[in-house]
Structure 1
Amino acid sequence: MRARWLALCREFGGWPTALLYCLHRGLQALSGGRVRIVPYVFFAQPVDNPLLVSIKPDPATVVRVVVGPDATVPPGPRPLAALRQRLQSGNECHVCEVKGEFAGTIWLGLGPHDEDEVRCRYVLPPRSVWDYDVYVAPRYRLGRTLARLWAAVDDNLAARDIAWTFSRISRFNPGSMGVHERLGARRVGTAWFLCFGAWELSWVPGRWGPRLSRQARPAITLRAPN
């Protein structure tokens, strides 16, 4: 038991997040999945990023942009109806293919973006987009496919005079947070949600104290780093 606890502390970078994760798992088990803790860290990643500009393109790797309500829905791990709704709502998908085979996607939201795990809306500063649902097919996760996909997205956004991409990552996903930080992303805030059935208790440090609601979708305004 002690060895498992120490391993969790190492995985999550300390005992506070490890303890929170254990509490989350315990609540899920006791409630049959109806109660969960959702802890987010918000990141802002600069566009025209030197770390991405230096990545050499691969002739076998092609990244295309899928946008518009009538576009063919790209592959992905989400339900087809959910992906179609994203396109109909004005989101765009950057699809990576290696030698003609699907390899991954990055979705971008233009303007305010509604979270799909909890009830909140992200409001972004000018010249910013929301990136989410970054996915790489299993067979391409050990190579440089993700880096090349991000480099193509970065180049596309720079040409459109976009300065920042914002995203949220669960504190329970330290691997993804590490990848973003290695790409130059900076932490710009946090949010905490305790969900039990249709009720949500939300807290955004520095913005508002704990709020309990059953239907409200509060707005979280994000700001670019200084």
Structure 2
Amino acid sequence: MSTRLRHTLAQLGWLNTALYLLARVLQSASGGRWALFRYLFVAQYVGDTPLTPMRGADIQLHAPTVRDPLPPGYPRPAHVVHGRYAQGAQTLTAWRNGRLAGFVWLILDAYQEDEVRARYRLASSRASWDFDVWVHPEERLGWVFRRLWESARVQLRRHGVRWTCSRISAFNAASLRAHAQIGVVRLGHAVFLRCGGWQWMFASLHPYIHLSRNPACFPQLMFDTSTLADIAAKEPPCPTFRKSARS
């Protein structure tokens, strides 16, 4: 067994490593027409306690709108960003020395996934969805994420949010490590297999199995955080990690 494979196994485990290798084979053999994704769905408690110590005073936080132009080199396509705004999503951006240092996206209602065909719905008005946390590679050892998440925490608490849900790629070792450190609660998992214009979903959540033959057909997954209220008696530790570029 190669050193690289042993390293991947240690980070992802047998199941995720096998699916990751299968995903690479499918993508290569099909010229990109086939793709496989495995997601873990988690919830994180939105506490009242600020993240301390709060350093990085030279990091500026902004809440741009759809009317604001995208910064040069923004790492997401313009049509994807406009689609997020159209859903009602908001973004928080961090800047250092005039350069975009990171961002996070938040939405208080249902979220239409932009990597696969799926819609995530929230059963409680006290829940939100956070997605696409990105930190510039040169800033991932600093305080950008902490400042971003503190700003997000304040905004979510202002809207009465107690739990924020997100999906993690099971093939992203850095994101898996990061979430393991903050005491997230797992809500389920799903595998998406895209075969040209068709897409199969196999999930631990209703509807469990779904076949999509076109973009207008997609599964809807419901996440209910109301049963997690008792878990919030003790807030999880403040995150001291760096999230990956794409969760």
Q: TM-score, normalised by structure 2?
A: 0.82
Report the equivalent of 2:7. Answer: 7
Distance 2:141 2:201 in 1: 36
Contact 2:55 2:143 in 1 (8 A): no
Matched, 1:178 2:177: yes
How large is the Cα RMSD of the aligned pairs?
2.0
Distance 2:3 2:55 in 1: 43
Report the equivalent of 1:191. Answer: 190
Distance 2:121 2:32 in 1: 30
Distance 2:120 2:191 in 1: 14
Distance 2:83 2:68 in 1: 11
Helix, strand or coil at the partner of 2:76: coil
Distance 1:169 1:154 in 2: 19
Contact 2:44 2:163 in 1 (8 A): yes
**Alignment length (residue pairs):** 223
Contact 2:51 2:146 in 1 (8 A): no
Matched, 1:85 2:83: yes
1:99 shift after superposition: 3.9
Runs of 4 or more consecutive aligned structure 1 residues displaced over 4 Å after TM superposition: none
Q: Cα distance 1:194–1:88, how it changes in 2: closer, same or farther (>3 A)?
A: closer
Q: Cα distance 1:55–1:154, how it changes in 2: closer, same or farther (>3 A)?
A: farther
1:73 shift after superposition: 3.7
Question: Over residues 57-78 of structure 1, what are the superposed CA-to-partner deviations in whole Å (9 max), with x where a residue is unaligned?
Answer: 43212212123x4344456301
What one-letter code is carried by the residue in structure 1 that aligns with 2:220? A
Distance 1:208 1:88 in 2: 26
1:11 shift after superposition: 2.2
Report the equivalent of 1:221. Answer: 222
Question: What are structure 2's unaligned runs of at least 5 residues?
Answer: 229-247
Contact 1:55 1:151 in 2 (8 A): no
Question: Over residues 15-36 of structure 1, what are the superposed CA-to-partner deviations in whole Å (9 max), with x where a residue is unaligned?
Answer: 1211111111111121111111
Identity %: 34
